[in-house]
Amino acid sequence: YDVILERCINHSRALYTLALLNAWGVRTVNTAHVADVCGNKFTTTLALIGHGVPCPRTLIAYTPESALEAIETLGYPVVLKPAVGSWGRLLSKINDREAAEAVLEHKTVLGSYHHSIFYIQEYIAKPQRDIRTFVVGDETICGIYRVSEHWITNTARGGEALNCPITPQIDALSRAAAQAVGGGVVAIDILERPNGEMLVNEVNYTMEFRNSIDTTGVDIPGKVVDYVLRVGKGEV
C-alpha cells in the first residue's frame, strides 16, 4: 500500500493497527504517534502544554483522596472526565464538595480502569457553545460552533452545529494544536473564556464531520482525500 486512511472509531483497534502498519513502513493518516497522543486526554494535554498551546488548567489524581484535594485546589466548579473516551460520555460537572465526594465514591466502586484515573479540569464558563475546527495538513479548512443550553455541547449529545468563521486567532490556535500532537487530519475543540481568551480542550484524531459539511459548505471528505493522496505520493 502507498497510504492507508484510518477511520476506525475504536481507539484500541485503530492504535494497534496503525502501529503495525507504521512498523511495516506503510504511510498512514493519521500515524500511530498521533493516535497514541490524541487517544488519551492526559497525553494530549501534555503535548499541548509542551508546545505552549493554551489549555484549561488540569490535574491528574489516582486515588479518591488525592482527587478531592486536586478538585479543591482548582476550585469549584470542575469537570471530571475519563482519560480515554469520546462523544461527551461519563463527564461530570462538580459544583461543590458534596457532589465531589459522591462522584468520587461512585467511580471508586465501579472500579474499572477508566474510573481509576481522575482527569480533573477547571470548568470554563463558555458562552453556551464551543468551537470545533478541522485541520488538514497545515490548513484549518473550516469550523463549527456547537451550541447548547447544556454545558456539554457535543453534537452527539444534542448540540446544534452552526458555521464558525475561521479568524486568524482560531486558525493559529488550531494549527498550533495540530502540530503539537503530530499533525495530519485532526479536529480541534476550542473553549472560550468570558474575556474572549481561547483554550484548546481536546484534539480528535478520527474526526467526525457528518454535521459539518452542509453547515460550513466545505467538502471536508474531499479535502481529506486530497491530503491522503499527497501523503501517498510522499509530498508531505
**Domain closes at, from 79, 105, 122:** 122
**Considering the entire predicted model, what is its pTM?**
0.94
CA neighbours closer than 13 Å in the CB half-sphere of residue 99: 12
Q: b/e string for 42-75 if b means 16 or more Cβ within 10 A?
A: eebbebbeeeebbbbebbbbeebeebbebbeebe
Tell me the residue type at 212: S
Q: Are residues 158 and 50 in the same domain?
A: yes
Q: Are residues 117 and 88 in the same domain?
A: yes
Q: What is the pLDDT along the chain (236 residues), one digit of tens a residue?
A: 899 999 998 999 999 999 999 999 999 999 999 999 999 999 999 999 999 999 999 999 999 999 999 999 999 999 999 888 776 678 999 999 999 999 999 988 887 766 789 999 999 999 999 999 999 999 999 999 999 999 988 887 888 999 999 999 999 999 999 999 999 999 999 999 999 999 999 999 999 998 899 999 999 999 999 999 999 999 99
CATH of the domain at 102: 3.30.1490.20
**Domain closes at, from 122, 137, 157:** 122
Structural domain of residue 97, as residue ranges? 58-122
Q: What is the largest CA-CA distance in the chain?
A: 57
Q: Are residues 100 and 185 in the same domain?
A: no
CA gap 25, 3 in Å, rounded: 10
